[in-house]
Amino acid sequence: MSTLVHRFHFFRASALAILLGCSLMVNAEPDDPWGTPYIGAQIFTQPGQTSEDLEGWFRTLKESDMPYCRLRLDETHMHKGDGTWDFKLYDTVFEMADKYGIKIFADLFPKETSDWRLAKFPQNKAHLQEWAEYIKQVVTRFQKHRSFYAWVLQNEPGSYGMYPKSDLSAELMAEWRAGLEKPTYVSQGYAGSNGCDELNFQRYYISWYLKWISQQVRQYDKEHELHVNTHSIYENLPDYDFPAWRKSLTFLGASCHPSLHYGYFDRTQYPMAISLNCDITRSGAGNLPFIVTELQGGNNTYSGINELCPTKEEITQWIWTSIGCGAKGVVFWTLNPRAVGGEAGEWGMLNFQQQPSGRLKAASVAARELIKHKEIYATAKPLLAPIYFLYSKETFWMEQAKQGRPGDATASEGRLAGGMIKSVAAWYEALLENGINCHVAEMQDFDWGKPDHAGETIILSHQLSVPSRHWEKLRQFVKSGGRLIADGLTFFFDENHFSVMQAGFPLEDVMGGSLQEIVANRGDFSLKLNNESHLPANLFKGSLHVTSGKPFATEDGTVLAMRNAFGRGTTLWIPSMLGMGARHEGNEALSKWLMAELSGDFAKFPIRFQTWQPKLLMRTMKTSEGYLTIVVNKSSESKNVSIAVADSDLKPAILFADKLGAVTNQRLMIHPEETLVIEWK
């Protein structure tokens, strides 16, 4: 694909920066196609809007130094009942984008069915052909505009385990089943074991559909970028087969709407949830760039799961957290609120007088900072410790199938769907509050083939199902020098709902023993280690049968945790829910224990907090001349903390601070709700 096609045609910022009464005569065009991260917003178009309305919105984007716009190409606005097409509204949109130099991500949006979840798929073969005609009409119509940048193949694939049963899905399922290899592992021959065929097919169906859409687009446009954005990642993650998606895309994205997508977390944790969301998305993107395709920009009144209006400080935190994770762009949902239908009068960054809110002004400040120091941000890449939180899609599905009393307010949190991702998030947060950034990926995406894994750590937090296809990979990982840590009910099931310990644990030599039993212990409890320290745990207290392992937590002669040497590596096994315990009791004990266990992994990490800092998050990036750190304070107090800097020659300089925070070589001062961006050279 040519450089010309990829290149972002950023406009030059001008003295029109009226939102803040300042002027930036800075060239906003990056030196490479995926260089300086950008800020943009969705313009929501509907019949009834005038050309003056549209021009005002595009002018606002330009004046805000936000050179990208996402646009929904709604078929119901252009395909008439008599079969004719009327493109007048969208022709005007593209003309205004051309006029103001705004690049458009065009979201393919055909007519929906009444159930939005089922609308993620074609309803049948006939509907698929209608889809094909819609794609032909819009692609051939709009790709010619100089403002056009990318096709969003589908808005937010993922349907919470649902797809329409039809002639098309039946045919595809038959083809899919015929192509499956005969399993070599059958859960020790136990009758009645039940896999996840229906859910595995849905995962395949989503990938098939994205590939089909991309092929339709490529019939008429062989050059422009192809994109898709995930949503509700903590519920829909097993639907997303990222390696398959990468074959149909040129860049990946994510929707990050705290009021809709982060119900597992409280408001102080939203930057952490965005960080985790972005880390998963970056992993899924592989070698492709990724952006935040939708970031909540405005108020919920009746939409959203949890009502929320972001503050200007939160807008700032969410932007910089996304950038710190490696996002090459952040696009807000939405610039203007829609007028009718779902979400009417909500989500906008403009008020009803079409004036910029404090949220839009905050986004514009971040946009200008990215332009002002573009030579720094263009080269910045996330710096990650060699620590990998791995998850399995089967664990998501296992939780859904086996969860205790869904919807019952008295049900233990750890038994409900979401227990696993909450556990992972607690471990992840404990490290982030030390300034340590990690990898988060599906098991299939880990690089298992290296001959030497010394210095690498895999953490399997409450992974109920570790499929048989990964058993030998884990064995070789540890044997070749890796460290493996497991907590909760990790290893309890295989991929077929079979309780693995019933017929001999296949990784007994690696882990140093096997699971003895699990005792339900409703509520939180304390796990006492042999060194007299304690770790909070929740709900399930597991005990171990030791063969070669060395216990490091016992109770009345029962082993509750052990470590084991295997090959050149080591394993630690604590079959109690430490992540959920930390979620309830706080991260301090888990943080201290984890930092002590992994201290060797951090020896070369250039910048981190000297000690655990609750509600203080730090992302680190490598630049061409040094490092960037992005720090967010979600506590209610000003923080004055010590920083561990591995190289004493590194000197800090604040690039951005929205509340006058400060930094010296070894100390950082940051106010409540403040965001700091610091360059180290």
Range of 535's domain? 387-602
Domain boundary among 357, 376, 395: 376
Task: Report residue 675 as tokens.
Answer: 């965001």
Evaluate whether residue 325 is within a structural domain: yes
Please tell me whether residues 362 and 406 are part of one structural domain: no
Please tell me whether residues 520 and 621 are part of one structural domain: no
Q: What is the pLDDT of residue 158?
A: 81
Please tell me whether residues 312 and 398 are part of one structural domain: no
Evaluate whether residue 184 is within a structural domain: no
Confidence category of residue 91, pLDDT binned at 50, 70, 90? very high
Please tell me whether residues 537 and 498 are part of one structural domain: yes
Helix axes 419-432, 270-285, angle to 10 degrees: 100
Evaluate whether residue 106 is within a structural domain: yes
Q: What is the pLDDT of residue 9?
A: 34
Please tell me whether residues 78 and 160 are part of one structural domain: yes
Evaluate whether residue 183 is within a structural domain: no
Evaluate whether residue 185 is within a structural domain: no
Please tell me whether residues 133 and 247 are part of one structural domain: yes
What gap in Å lies between CA 246 and CA 253, rounded to an integer?
11
Q: What is the pLDDT of residue 117?
A: 67
What gap in Å lies between CA 253 and CA 284, rounded to an integer?
10
Q: What is the pLDDT of residue 23?
A: 31
Evaluate whether residue 135 is within a structural domain: yes
Residues linked to residue 72 through DSSP beta bridges, in sequence order: 107
Q: What is the pLDDT of residue 134?
A: 96
Evaluate whether residue 513 is within a structural domain: yes
How confident is the model over 568-619, as pLDDT tens digits? 999 999 999 999 999 999 999 999 999 999 987 777 789 999 999 999 999 9
Higher pLDDT, 266 or 605: 266
How confident is the model over 9-30, as pLDDT tens digits? 332 233 333 333 333 323 334 3
Domain boundary among 602, 630, 657: 602
- DSSP letter at 362? H
Burial class (CB in 10 A: 0-12, 13-18, 19+), 119: middle
Q: Are 420 and 391 in contact (CB under 8 A)?
A: yes
- The domain that holds 660 is classified in CATH as 2.60.40.1180
Q: What is the mean pLDDT of the chain?
A: 92
Higher pLDDT, 1 or 649: 649
Please tell me whether residues 431 and 545 are part of one structural domain: yes
Please tell me whether residues 144 and 205 are part of one structural domain: yes
Among the listed residues 330, 319, 231, the one whose alpha carbon sits nearest the alpha carbon of residue 280: 231
Please tell me whether residues 341 and 216 are part of one structural domain: yes
How confident is the model over 197-246, as pLDDT tens digits? 889 999 999 999 999 999 999 999 999 999 999 999 999 999 999 999 99
Task: Report residue 107 as tokens.
Answer: 């979201």
Provide mean pLDDT across the span 178-198.
Answer: 81
What gap in Å lies between CA 31 and CA 3, rounded to an integer?
11
The dihedrals phi and psi of 254, each to the nearest 5 degrees, come to -145, 145
Around Cβ 524, how many Cβ atoms within 10 Å? 16
Confidence category of residue 176, pLDDT binned at 50, 70, 90? very high
Count of domains for the chain: 3
Q: Are 225 and 248 in contact (CB under 8 A)?
A: no
Domain boundary among 329, 353, 376: 376
Measured CA to CA in angstroms, residue 277 lies from 191, 236, 274, 581 at distances of 39, 12, 5, 22
Q: What is the pLDDT of residue 20?
A: 34
Please tell me whether residues 318 and 420 are part of one structural domain: no
Please tell me whether residues 359 and 434 are part of one structural domain: no
- The domain that holds 538 is classified in CATH as 3.40.50.880
- The domain that holds 218 is classified in CATH as 3.20.20.80
Q: Are 390 and 441 in contact (CB under 8 A)?
A: yes
Please tell me whether residues 372 and 264 are part of one structural domain: yes
Q: What is the pLDDT of residue 259?
A: 97
Q: Are 216 and 190 in contact (CB under 8 A)?
A: no
Burial class (CB in 10 A: 0-12, 13-18, 19+), 83: exposed
Alpha helices in 404-507 (DSSP H): 419-432, 471-479
Burial class (CB in 10 A: 0-12, 13-18, 19+), 144: exposed
User: How many Å is the Cα radius of gyration of the chain?
Assistant: 26
Evaluate whether residue 187 is within a structural domain: no
